[in-house]
Structure formats: C-alpha cells, structure tokens
Structure 1
Amino acid sequence: MSHDVVGPRAVLRSAAFLTAGALAVSVLAACSSDEERSKPVAAQDIAPASRTLVADGGVLRWAVDALPPTLNTFQADTGPATARVAGAVLPSMFRLDANGRPQANPDFLESAKVVSTEPKQVVLYRLNQRAVWSDGREIGADDFAAQWRALSGKDSAYWTARNAGYDRIEKVERGANNLEVKVTFNKAYADWKSLFSPLYPKDVMGTPGGFNDGARKTLKVTAGPFSLQKIDQKAGEVTLSRNPRWWGSPAKLSEIVLVAVPRDKRAAAVAAGTVDIADVDPEEAGRVKAAAGDKGSAQGAAAGGQRYVVRKSLEPAYTQLALNGSRGPLADERVRRAVARAINRTELAGLVLKPLGLPAVPVGSHLALSGQDAYADNSGALGDQDTDQAKALLSEAGWVSGGPVKEKKAAGPEPKKAGGSGEPKKAGGSGEPKKADGTGQGKNADRPGGSAREDGKGYPGKDPGDHSKKQGGMPGAYAPEGTAAPGGAAVKTFAKDGKALELKFVLPSGPGSQTLRTVGDRIASMLGKVGIRVTITKVPDDSYFKDHIASGDYDLALYSWPASAFPATDARPIYAKPVPAADGSLTIEQNYTRVGTDQVNQLFDEAIVTLDEEDERNLVRKADARIWAAAGSIPLYQRPQLTATRENVANAGAFGFQTPIYEDMGFLKKGAKPSASPSS
C-alpha cells in the first residue's frame, strides 16, 4: 500500500465464502521449510544514499491527501497522514523491511522474544536504555501497560477502533527494571510483533479523556527523530521539527512539512515547486514529465529550475474484483467461479502496469504479496482463464446459453451493456473502499475506512458518432447496407427462467479512478464473450464505498486491500464467514463480498494461536487456497506506486513495503549522487 493509504494495522479487516470439496489436496500442500523465499515483484525506488552524502538541514515539503483528522492511530477516523506523523514522532517496536517482513527497531528495542509458552505465552521486551520521551521520562513498562488497558476492549469509555491482540493479553508487568516489560497472554498470539507499534505515552493512554480527545489535535509528548511542532489548519500544513532529545542517528532534515494537496492538484504543485515529494497518479506523472518538455525520460522541471524524477514501484496493496455472493446469480458459487474463469488476470495486470514500465505480474494470494513470508501463488485452486470451463460451470448452475429471455421494456435510455461496446451511462450514488485501485486507499485503500484511488491511463472507446441524420430514426439503429458483422459469431447470452444472466458492475466516476474504469470495461468485455451481460454503473467517488460496496448494492466492484505483515490477525475480518445477527441481519465485519466458510475461519483461528512461524505460514496459505476456490474475490494486480520527488531528495520516494526511515531522509550534498535505483 502506498504510505498515503490507511494500512491494515489502522483498520479492521474481513473474510470470504467457499465450499470444502472444491480444493485438490495438492493445492493445500504447504510449502516446505527450505523453499526459496519469494521476492517483491518490483524493488523500492527511494534514491538510497549513505548519510554522509546527505546535507544537514533543510525543509522537506511532502504532499498528503488531507490533514490528519486525529493523531491517534487507534481511532476510527485515522487517516494516512495520521500514520505518517506517528511514524516520525512515536516509538515502534517493529518496522517493516523492503520485503514486508517485521524487524525489531534497535532505536527502541535491545531485544524482544517469546520466553515461555507453558502454561502461557510470555514475551519479554528489553528496551533501549537511551529511549526517552520528549519530556525526559524514560520509555518503560508503565507506557506498555497503559496502552494495553486502553486497547484491551474491557473499558468501553475508550473509543477504540480495534483491539486485535491486546484483547489476548492477561497482564503487563515490569521486569527486573522499568526497561524490561513482561507481557503475558491469556491466549496464544502468533502476531505479537504487531503490538505496541506505535506506542503512545501513558499521558495519552492512561485515561479515556486523554485517549478520546487529548491526542486528536496535538501530541504534547513524543519520542522519535522528529516531534510535532504545529498543525496549521488554515494553511493546510503539519510541521514536524527535528527532535533535540533523539538518541538515534540525528535527523538530517530540520523539518518535514506535510502539505494537504488534493490528488488532482499535485502535478501543478510539483510544477510550481511548492512540494518536494508527492505520490501521484499515472496521468499526473505524465504531466510532471511534460512540464519540462521532457518526452522520453522520467524527469521534468519545476519553477525555479528544480528537477523532479518520478520514482516507481508497486504498492503493498492489491486490486481485486469483488463478487457479491449475497444476492442474485452470484449467490451460486458455480456462477462466481464461472466469472473468475472468464477473466484473464495477466491481461488485466498488463493493461495497468505495462504502460508504466512496471512488472505485469498477477497477484497470486489474498493474504500476502510476493516478498512476504506467507506468500504463495494459490490461484490454481480456482484455475486460469478458460472460456469453455466458464460456460460449463454456468450450464451446471442451470443457465442456458441462448435461452429465452422475457425482456423488459425500458422507460428511457438504458445504460450500455458492457461486454459490448461503448461507455455506459453515468449513474448516481456510490463511494469507494480503498477505492479499488486508487490510492488511498487504496488509499490504499484505501479503502474501508479511507480511500484507495487507483490510477492508470485510460483507454476510452471510440465515439461511434451519431448516425441518425444519415439513416433516419434512432442513433445507432441502422447500419449501411453491406456492413460486415463483427468477427466471429455473436455470443449467446445465458438465461434462466426467462431472465438473462446480467450483473451490475459499480465503478467510481472521479478523475482519479480512470484506471478502475479502464479495467472494469475490459472485465465486462471478457464476461460478454462468455455470455454474461454486464451493466456498468458509474457513481460519485464519495459514495462508491459507503453506498454500494459496504451496503451490498453491487454485483461486481473493484477495490483494493493493503497487504499486511500479520495476515492471521488483519485478514480474518475480511475473509471470515459472515455471522447472522439477532435482528436477522448479517454481521460481515469487512467481508464486503459476504462470502465465507467455516473452514476458512478455522484455519485463521489455528494460525493465530500457533507460535511456530512455519506452521503459521502454512495455515495462512491453506486459508488463502480456500478463499480462492470460493471465488468471492479475485486478486488482479499490485497497484502502481508513483512518487514525484525533487531530484536531489535522498532516501525517500516509492517505498514499496518498507517503513520510511525519517531520520535518513534529506537533500543530497552538492555534487553527490544516490546509489543506482530503478528509475535513475
């Protein structure tokens, strides 16, 4: 996920549905312990440079979507800017490396390990003895204990968005001294490394008032390479200044200023030289290059002669096709599987990523991305694109190719049926989760809890023109005599009980969602070739997720999820089986496809309690294979991550999986060059 997207640690996550007998034993076979680890499909692109080459001082102006609505990452309205501030000013016990794997943060930890499993799991943290809060107090066991109590879920006075992991802790105790923290779990917890990152001071976590309101607009006490100086709502800026009490490598920059710049204004901000770094959409990236009349390279110039480079990688987030299994034809697993078998995922990945010069590799897992320990390509549980198999599945489900259809008379112009030609009529009302491939969020997004816009160049269809004056009658109703039919015989639509097999495909209509619409049109065409009608409905961005995805008012949709280093915890609410509520409604958590099985639940439950890392990986992979077979969601491709940066900015750009290391960011000394990177 881009770092503008709300990550999985900041939001709840959800599940999917499938039948037991759909999987072959070979698909569920776990990978061996000596299996070669996967690598990220695309390397990060951050202009790496040693600290000796980075100048001391300077102000880095960094574009964000909006000012943080809260500075407490554990509240429901946390946003991408919240995570960025927290990463620079608060402790994290673990951070992600370039492969998306958690690594102990030596600035805060001397060590952290499981020291006992019987009768209960006990983790012992030994803290860096130099680690102190900005008020001079050492970071210690009392801060860990306050955060556990606030997030345990036992006190409803704390308005928390998530409790995962903290609700499994029995007690937090001081060890031999205040720099030793002993955490005892009442239930084994495999993802214990996800906890206490970020860590807030007891001043915030110690009381409901401090948690609910005290940390929304200010952080009086911090502990990172930077501290929060001010939030200027009028100017739309958050200023972070170098922390004089920081005990680690001193921050190279004097200040980082987060500047609220809407996505569609970023190319202009770069051209004006008012920001130094900004995540951009593909269309905006093109405008950045064109600003200097530079037609071939990834560079362009801004006002004042500053040169910018567009750094490229893949976000740790993927775009999926979601199939709503709670209604209509898609309630039948065979129809969902037919839809999946009709789609060429490699072609869709190429459609988005090849024009950007990024590897066009389809995503093979719902629960991890290539480079992460849990990654394995389990798409074989569902199968590759196969038109004949898709049609066979529809026939098995009782649909008849070319069967009789009782057509309804339309009261007015209908949206154009996708799978044919032309762009569908714009409709009202919808928002986006992480807007499916937008950034977020996917932003991320991204996203359930944020927006995840997707960006890519569109390939609009040609305007067929208005032939009514030439032919008379309704536009498009006639063709000149002798006009040849399209190549191949017309595809017969499947039907059952007098109704055509027709699916509602909801897509966002905003300027940052062109990639999604391009992908949606291609998917609709693929389904049309099988005999499935698709009606595309375009809706406003702000209602795409809330009014359609979350409410279930769709058959097909595109949106994105961030990858997580802790899938057993974070992915369960996305793919677990929905549970009927007392009022007859369905509790879906974040499982917006409404598809799930008891077996998937069981595999997640087993994965979260095993303390053997290899066993946990294998259980997660088995869960993923069953999610594939259920065909509730079809992973397509990792989202592109494009970041326009000033050419002399070092150690920042398209981070990929890695947690930014804020103290190493800065401006290269005159004449210094960064290490080789993909886009240089």
Structure 2
Amino acid sequence: MSHDGRLRTRPGAVARSVAFLAAGALVVPVLTGCSSEDEAGKPVAAQDIVPAARDLVADGGTLHWAVDDVPETLNTFQSDADATTNRIAQAVLPSMYRLDATGRPQRNSDYLESAKVVQTEPKQVVLYKLNQQAVWSDGREIGAADFAAQWRALSGKDNAYWTARNAGYDRIEKIERGANDLEVKVTFARPYADWQSLFSPLYPKDVMGTPDSFNDGARRALKVTAGPFALSAVDHKNAQVTLVRNPRWWGQPAKLAEIDLQAVPLDKRAAALADGKLDLAEIDPSAAQRIDLAGRAGGTGTPLQGPGAARPAAKALPRDAGALGGFEVRRSLEPVYTQLALNGSEGPLADERVRRAVARALDRKALAEAVLKPLGLPAVPVGSHLALSGQAAYADNSGSLGGQDTAEAQALLTDAGWVRGGPVKEQKKEQKEKGEKAAGSEGRGADESEGGDDGTYIVGEDNSGGDSKSGHHKDPKDHTKKQDKVTDGKQYAGARPQQGGAPGAYAPKGTAAPAGAASGMLAKNGKPLTLRFVLPSGPGSEALRTVADGISRMLQRVGISTRITKVSDESYFKDHIASGQFDLALYSWPATAFPATDARPIYAKPVPAADGSLDVEQNYTRVGTDQVDHLFDQAAATLDGDENLSLIRKADSRIWAAAGSIPLYQRPQLMAARKNLVNAGSFGFQTPLYQDMGFLKKGAKPSASPSGD
C-alpha cells in the first residue's frame, strides 16, 4: 500500500491506483478531470525520466535493471506477489487502464478502443470495445473468454483458487460477448464506482481457467503473454528475469531488444553500477551522493543538493568516480507516503485524546524537511491518507486533526489524566532486569538479541524505569497478509541520518538523564507515559531512524517518553506491525487511484472473527469507526464523480480525526541511470512505457517527449 514497510502496489494500475465515475441515463462518461472546485493541485514533484522522442532512440540493446528479488510468483493476484511481479506484468500483460503523470487512470489504447458505463438501471453495465489488433502471443484474440475466466477466478466464490483479493470482481454478476468478438459486456450485481481498476493486468484464460493453472501454472512461467515484451526466462539461480521483444506486439515496437531484471541488494547497487553490470537502479542517498560527486568531478552531472553541497569534490571524491561518471541521479517523489502509525488496540494510545496529543506534538513540516531537503526535493507534508497531491481525490484534510500545537497537546494529555512529575511505582525486579537486558543489546546484531531486538534506548525517561510494553496487542489469529500490501526493508526511505540525537538518547547504560527530564515526564496511576517505538535495523532504513529520533524529541517536549527498539528487517513486519507488537511505528502506503476499493481494508474497523480473534484486515493501527466504513461503502457504490470525491474526502477527514495514523511525507525516489538511457528513471505516478525505453542514438540529445499516449 521497504522499511517504510511499503504497501504493495495494485498490479497494472501501479501505486495503489484510482478512478472515479459520473453516472448518466444511458451512456455514462468517465470522470477524467476534477470537480469544479479542484482541491487536488499538482504533483509535488515531476517525474524525472529524460523524455525523448522515439526517433531519437536507438533500435536494440539490453537494459540491465536492478530489482529487489526474483519473484516467487508471476501471478499478481497471489499473496506472495511482489513489486517485481508487478513490473513484469506491466511489460508483458494487457492492462485496460494505466496511470498518467498526475496519478489518474487513462484508457490504454493498445488494448481498449473504448470502455463505458452504458447502463445504470436496473444494473450497471460496462461495455469494453477491444483493440482489433490485440492478440495473445499464441495468436488468439483477446476477448470475453479471458475476461470471464479472470472474473470466475477472482470472484471469491470458489475457494479452490488461492487468491489474495477479490475486491470488485465479487460485484460482477455476469460477463458476456457483446455484438461481436471485440466487445465484452460486464454486468454488475451491485454498483461499482471503481470498475476501471478491474482487468489490469488481464491474464489469459489458460492461467485463470482452472484452480490448478491459477495456483501453480503461472508461478514460474507465463507461456502466453500480450505486451511489448514477452517473458523469456526466470532464473532463480542467477537471480535474473529476462524479457525480450514480443514479435506479435501490434503497438509501437519496443526499442530495446531485451530487459534483464537483476536482483541486487540495495547496498550492493553502487558497486554493480561501477562494474558496468547495471544501467538503471533505485539507490540510497549515500550512493546518490557518490554519483553526484563523480559527475561534478567530471564537470557534468546533477549538482549535489543540501548540506555539504559546497564542499570541494576533490576532498570527498569516491574511488570509483571514473566508473560512476557515466551515470546520473534522476530524482522525484514516489507515489508512496510515509506515516506514523499509532497502535490503538490498548494501553495509552487506546485513548483518542492521547493519540491526538501525539499528533499535535509533531511538526510534520520539519520531519519532511529532514528527509527531503538534503536530497533537493520539495518537503511538503502529505495532507491525505487516501491520495497524493495531483490525484483527483486529494485534498488536505489535516485540519480535521489540527497542526502542531504544544499547548493543545499538553491540554489533551491533562484531560486524559496524565500529569507531569507524578509518582512512578518501582518496577518489579524481573521487569527491571528485562529492561536492562534490552538496553544492553544496543549495537548487537538482530540474531544476538532477544525477540529479534537490535538495540533499545529511551528518549525522555531516566533509568528509574516504566513499562516499555504498553499498548501491545497480539491477535490470536493473524488475518493479515504480509505480501498482499506491505513489503519489508528492501528500499531506503530518504535522506542520510542526521548526526547526533536527543540528549542522552545513546548514552551508555547508567548515564544520568538530562537535568529535569524525569520530572518533566508524564505519569498516571503510578506508570510513566512511555511508548514503544519499533524500527527496522537494516541498511536502507537510516531515514526512518532519523525521523523517529525527531518524533521522539517532539514528544519529549510534551512529556511523552519513547522506548526506541530496533529489530531485524525480517522481524519488523511479521512480528511487530502485523501482530500489533508496537505503540509507534513508521511504514508506508502507496497512493491509490481507487481509494474506495484499495484503502477500505487499511482503515476498516477491526471486528471479531468467528473464532474469537480480531480480524484487522490491513488496519495495523487497530483504529477504525463505523462511520468511516460507511463512507467507503457509499463511495464504492456511487457512480456520480463529484459525489464520489466528496465521500472519499469526508472519509479522510474522519480518519484524520481518529488519529490512528499520521501521514508525514511523500517518499523520495532516487534512480541511478546511465546518462544515455532515456524514457526511464524516476517515473513518479506514471505507469512506465516499456516500449519507449532505450538508449539515445549516437550524437542525439533528448529534446522532446516520446510518442505514445
């Protein structure tokens, strides 16, 4: 929806995608713009892909592109699908809609001549008219049989299909052939505003037709495809996926002859670039700095932004400057935002006043600047849980909660019964010993510390203690799907960590707290207000730890202590976020073009399951309301575009008011690209056009946008 614990993107529609519709009598136009009073604005940062017209791009060549992993499945609708699964699907499978640069869905003319709601009463009917040239790689026309097979597989009616989700498909009543073989008629049993989210990607009936072919047939191979590229090989031994030009592709032919997706760990990518093994790779800020310095040394390249920009290059020139001189850093913001999650299942944060106090203590602008300003990117706090600036549903609804206000935060805490300098009961001996053991684990590897902890320290509390595990709730039955929406520690979150931290935060055990620290902390019923802040410890998570330190200092000012616990990347999501073993945590969700569908499980009110456990879906904060659920349900069933937007924005306002999660900043995306590589880099919202990627012809200079829609 990386450590940021990133939500997995919707296949085909990219980043948690989105569409809204307007209803009419017979033919219903799709809402592609905004309402008369557009609050969406523009994307905070433009994409950075070095666009070039197709006639400037050389024919042929191989693009070596770094990915996190070779996927375990090529079926995007299975629970262990990942970002690489989605990338492959975008290149080799049909998608009826793709996102533009503003994060809005647009008809994909390579597959669709048109798609319209042609009837609303008594049932909603959508008529797809397919591109007459669209065929599968085996020569068969793409048609109604493929749509129907995908609907049956994903409808949720047959448990033999191991699907990760069925949202939208469960509303379809039937799928029929239209007036001819190029028409597909989809009738909905219930109105569905987000119908544009469906059939992206579209798999052939050979994959979707039976449970066996769905569950196993498309995990390691795709025998039939229909994109500008075809899948040639999935090589787990050599950690590579090979895509080649599709000879049956009817659209603009792919410029590249081959794309090799190579699994390279984030911290190894700079070396792989220098060795000539990669042409395109997402990188961390330290690698970006090395490439910037190499470019400056050669008189070219993107100037280094932020602190240290004026430092002479010769003093910090990387050893591999010569090899890295052929690359540049392409910067933008991912359609993904980082949030502070507050676990409201029990403990102090079960009280909405305390959650609101935490939120009012935060200077979100300062936190965004800490991550984005050193990278030369705009530091604009995110104002919505459900969309990002530029998308149709975006509006800054943070006013429903209120901005940074220390006095108001303190008043909320006082109202909740927390007082400064209150008496604190002495810990039981075993609790104290356990706390000392945790404190002594700082700096050890995750496998050396109890429970996967990789170091614990307290900001804002003296050594007299307090319970570090308030607010924990582990559901007896875990109804979450890790791979369905969130991935662990594969990418960085932003800037290099700032040096230093809160006074005493990293001091050796036994060091006295700063004068007045203990007396300034809040207590209630003999217990201090200490929140456990869980963070990943692996490489690439430095920015999250920087942000966490900043948050801890802000909370300390209003009397809230934080016990920061670093855990292994492998343990972070599984053992802490999904199971509710945290008070505060940082992870990310992508923006979606279809929030009524995609965001509902993230903010749905947890409900008891049949076995007595708590079904939280993807709502890892355990904070939800009936009103928010109702607004999502209304939006999903509303075919009027303006009303749809209004309902989504109302839902976001209520989510802000409940203070279960606090959006902070849009995540940076830093892509190292070979300088002559065009139409590729930091894509922002836009679905990549794989057929336009390539290397410039000798002597050519990028000066125009590529052709294609």
Range into which the TM-score falls when normalised by the shorter chain: 0.7 to 0.9
- 1:240 maps to amino acid: L
Tell me if the contact between 1:6 and 1:444 (Cα under 8 Å) persists in the aligned partners. yes
| Alignment-derived partner of residue 307 in structure 1 | 326
**Larger mean Cα displacement after TM superposition, 408-417 or 96-105:** 408-417
Aligned pairs, how many? 631
Report what 1:514 is aligned to: 542
Specify the alignment match of 2:671 in structure 1: 643
The CA deviation at 1:9 is: 4.8
Residue 354 (structure 1) aligns with: 373
Distance 2:484 2:371 in 1: 17
Matched residue SS, 1:314: strand
Question: For 1:119 and 1:129, how far apart are their aligned partners in 2?
Answer: 30
Matched-pair contact (CA < 8 Å) for 1:321–1:558: yes
Displacement after TM superposition at 1:613 (Å): 1.4
Q: Which moved more, 1:287-296 or 1:514-523?
A: 287-296
Measure the CA separation in 1 of the matches of 2:484 and 2:291.
24
Matched, 1:550 2:554: no
Instruction: Indicate yes or no: 2:146 matched with 1:143.
Output: yes
Letter of the structure 1 residue corresponding to residue 249 of structure 2: W
Equivalent pair of 1:568/1:607 in contact (CA under 8 Å): yes
Aligned to 1:211: 214
Cα distance change on mapping 1:294 and 1:542 into 2, 3 Å: farther
Give the SS at the match of 1:360.
coil
- Which of 400, 406, 414 is residue 419 of structure 2 equivalent to? 400
The one-character-per-residue Cα deviations of 1:414-439 (angstroms, maximum 9, x if unpaired) are 443214799x9xx99xxxxxxxxxxx
Partner of 2:383: 364
CA contact (8 A) 1:319 1:637 kept: yes
Q: 1:102 & 1:603 partners in 2: Cα distance?
A: 22
Q: What's the CA shift for 1:464?
A: 8.7
Q: Distance in 2 between matches of 1:362 and 1:491?
A: 33
Equivalent of residue 526 in structure 2, options 479, 498, 501: 498
Q: Partner residue of 2:278?
A: 275
Q: What is the TM-score of this pair, normalised by structure 2?
A: 0.84
| Structure 1 counterpart of 2:357 | 338
Identify if the C-alpha distance between structure 1 residues 474 and 136 changes in structure 2 by more than 3 Å, giving closer, same or farther. Answer: closer
Query: Structure 2 matches for 1:2-401, cutoff 5 A?
Result: 6-9=8-11, 33-35=36-38, 37-291=40-294, 294=297, 297-298=301-302, 307-401=326-420
Identity of aligned pairs, percent? 68
1:338 is matched by which residue type in structure 2? A
Q: Structure 1 counterpart of 2:401, which letter?
A: L
SS of 1:417's equivalent in the other structure is: strand
Once the two structures are TM-superposed, the CA of residue 474 in structure 1 deviates from its matched residue by 8.3
Structure 1 residue 674: deviation in Å?
1.9
Report the Cα distance in structure 1 between the residues aligned to 2:10 and 2:616, rounded to whole angstroms: 17
* Structure 1 residue 70: Cα displacement: 0.6
Tell me whether 382-391 or 290-299 shows the greater mean CA deviation.
290-299
Superimposed CA distance per residue, residues 25-78 of structure 1 (whole angstroms, 9 cap, x where no aligned partner): xxxxxx963336410000000000110111111100000001011110000100
Corresponding residue number in structure 1 for 2:23: none
Counterparts of 2:112 and 2:424, CA distance in 1: 67
Matched, 1:418 2:449: no
- Provide the C-alpha distance between the structure 2 equivalents of 1:446 and 1:161, rounded to a whole number of angstroms: 10
Query: What secondary structure does 1:524 align onto?
Result: helix
Q: CA deviation at 1:580?
A: 1.1
Q: Which amino acid aligns with 1:493?
A: M
Three-state SS of the structure 2 residue aligned to 1:118 is coil
Distance 1:496 1:36 in 2: 43
The residue type paired with residue 245 of structure 2 is R
SS in 2 for 1:45: coil
Shift of 1:232: 1.8
Within 2, Cα distance between the matches of 1:306 and 1:346? Answer: 34
Instruction: Provide the C-alpha distance between the structure 1 equivalents of 2:117 and 2:614, rounded to a whole number of angstroms.
Output: 38
1:436 corresponding residue in structure 2: none
Q: Distance in 2 between matches of 1:454 and 1:576?
A: 26
Q: Residue 530 of structure 1 corresponds to which residue in structure 2?
A: 558
Matched, 1:623 2:642: no
Q: Is the 8 A contact 2:7 2:589 kept in 1?
A: no
Point out the more displaced range, 445-454 or 37-46.
445-454
What is the letter of the counterpart of residue 598 of structure 1? D
Question: Would the alpha carbon gap of residues 157 and 91 (structure 1) be closer, same or farther in structure 2, given more than 3 Å must change?
Answer: same
TM-score between both structures, scaled by the size of structure 1: 0.88
Q: 1:461 aligns with which of 496, 500, 504?
A: 500
In the aligned structure 2, how far is the partner of 1:362 from the partner of 1:179?
46
- Contact in 2 for aligned 1:223/1:246 (Cα 8 Å): yes
2:540 is paired with a residue whose SS is helix
Secondary structure of the equivalent of 2:244? strand
Q: What residue is the counterpart of 2:616 in the other structure?
A: 588
Structure 1 counterpart SS, 2:542: helix
Q: Which runs of 5+ in 1 are unaligned?
A: 14-30, 429-442, 479-484
Distance 1:203 1:393, change over 3 A: same
Corresponding residue for residue 571 of structure 1: 599
Q: Please state how far the C-alpha of 1:582 moved relative to its aligned partner.
A: 2.6
Cα distance in 2 between the residues matched to 1:272 and 1:550:
39
Q: Which amino acid aligns with 1:566?
A: F
Native 8 Å contact 2:488 2:569 kept in 1:
no
Deviations 1:482-512, CA, capped at 9 Å, x for gaps: xxx87x9986111111111111000111111
1:68 aligned counterpart, secondary structure: coil
Q: Is the Cα–Cα contact under 8 Å of residues 240 and 260 in structure 2 kept in the other structure?
A: yes
Q: State the shift of 1:574 in Å.
A: 0.2
> Deviation per CA, 1:560-594, whole angstroms, max 9, x where unpaired?
01111000000000001111123322100000000
Instruction: Name the counterpart of 2:511.
Output: 476
SS at 2:520 equivalent: coil
Of residues 582, 590, 609, the one that matches 2:637 is: 609
Distance 1:578 1:125 in 2: 37
Q: Which amino acid aligns with 2:497?
A: G
Maintained 8 Å contact 2:341/2:586: yes
Q: Does the 8 Å contact 2:39/2:394 carry over to 1?
A: no
Query: Distance between the aligned counterparts of 2:142 and 2:205, measured in 1?
Result: 10
In structure 2, relative to structure 1, the CA distance for the partners of 1:389 and 1:281 (3 Å cut) is: same
Is residue 2:681 matched to residue 1:662?
no
Query: CA–CA distance in 2 between the matches of 1:561 and 1:225?
Result: 29
Equivalent residues of 1:63, 1:275 under 8 A apart:
yes
Check 1:71–1:317 CA distance in 2 against 1; reply closer, same or farther (3 A cut): same
Measured at CA, do residues 489 and 363 of structure 1 come closer, stay the same or move farther in structure 2, by a change above 3 Å? same
Structure 1 stretch displaced more, 606-615 or 410-419 = 410-419
Q: CA RMSD in A?
A: 3.0
CA distance in 1, matches of 2:509, 2:574: 37
Give secondary structure in 2 for the equivalent of 1:365.
coil
